[in-house]
Each structure stands twice: as structure tokens, then as C-alpha cells.
Amino acid sequence: MPLFQYQCADCGRDQEILVRGNESPVCLACRSALLKKQISRPAALIGGSAAPMGCGAESCCRIDGGSCMN
């Protein structure tokens, strides 16, 4: 089941929401249905488990695995 990143047009909260089938997501804070889908970074599979790909900032990410040190 996909997990999507949304921003609420009413309260401005950024959140990840699990969307099943034909469900319409609502804001977890204010229950508004006015959500804008955001672009999110996919998880990479490393050794059979999902791991973050890092934030991409040179100041905090290691080159060897791309994981964020902050």
C-alpha cells in the first residue's frame, strides 16, 4: 500500500498518508480534504530492507552510502 507525501491547503501541515485503493486522503490535523500531493524521495532497498537515500546536502551526507549524518 503506497505512502504518499501531502501538504494541506487549509492548515499547511506536511504529512505522509497511507492511501488504500480508491480512498481519498484527508489531513490528519484538521480533517480537510484539500491536500496537494508532494514529490517525495523513494526508499532504496539495501540488503532487503528500506533505507533512506540521504538528504543530498554535502555538509551532512556521507559519500559511501548516502545516508544523512544529522
Query: Mind listing the pLDDT tens digit for each residue in 23-69?
Result: 899 999 999 999 999 987 666 666 655 545 555 555 555 555 555 55
Cβ contact 68:55 at 8 Å: yes
State residue 21's pLDDT score: 86
In the chain, domain spans: 3-39, 44-70
pLDDT band at 2 (very low <50, low <70, confident <90, very high): confident
Rounded to an integer, what distance in angstroms lies between the CA atom of residue 29 and that of residue 8?
9
What stretches of the chain adopt beta strand conformation (E)? 3-8, 14-18, 35-37, 44-46, 49-51
